[in-house]
Amino acid sequence: MLWFSRMRKVDAVHRAFAIAGQVVLYAAFAGFIGVFSSHPIYRHLAADEALLKLSFNHAGQLAHECRRRTAEELAKLAPNMRAVLDCPRERSPITVELGWDGQLLAKRVAKPSGIAGDGPSTLYERIVVPAGWHELSVKFNDNARAPGFNYTREERVHLEPGQILVVDFNPGKGGILVQ
């Protein structure tokens, strides 16, 4: 019986040390998280900078003209495959030029996605620019068969320090969007 009571005391002491150790470790971990949640201070832009984001997801026009099949070609095809027009699936790459205060800031070509090149072209780019008044020029071409740019937009923009200006493309909403 004496041995059993000694073991109870030893177990109680061990349990007390284990709990005290856990409290110390949890407090150290909480202190670590607390310090590094606010230090060092992170600034994604300097005090006099703004951010320009060029972002779009758009399927370009068909890269090649549709061709009308002849009567002989149609006769060789199975009845369920006899479409009069033969249209290749490949899409045009998207070309974008971004002008900033009369200078070319970026020129990008986004190729169509997909194995057959028939998916949308996607582009996302972040460009740090100085805050203030600027002349923005965006040119967009989604048709490789047409020379030049089929969408353009020029405007004067004012960017506050830390502001984010997004340049997007949506033909259903008028083409080039500056938000």
Task: Give the list of residues 6+ apart from residue 53 with CB closer than 8 angstroms, or none.
Answer: 124, 125, 126, 127, 164, 165, 166, 167
Tell me if residue 22 falls in helix, strand or coil. Answer: helix
pTM over 0.85: no
Exposed, middle or buried, 109 (CB in 10 Å: 0-12/13-18/19+)? exposed
Judge whether residue 1 has pLDDT over 70: no
Residue 9 pLDDT > 70, yes or no? no
Q: Which two tokens stand for residue 132?
A: 């203030």
Q: What is the structure's pLDDT at 157? A: 96
C-alpha span between 67 and 81 (Å, rounded): 15
Give pLDDT tens digits for 22-70.
999 999 999 899 888 888 887 788 889 999 999 999 999 999 899 999 9
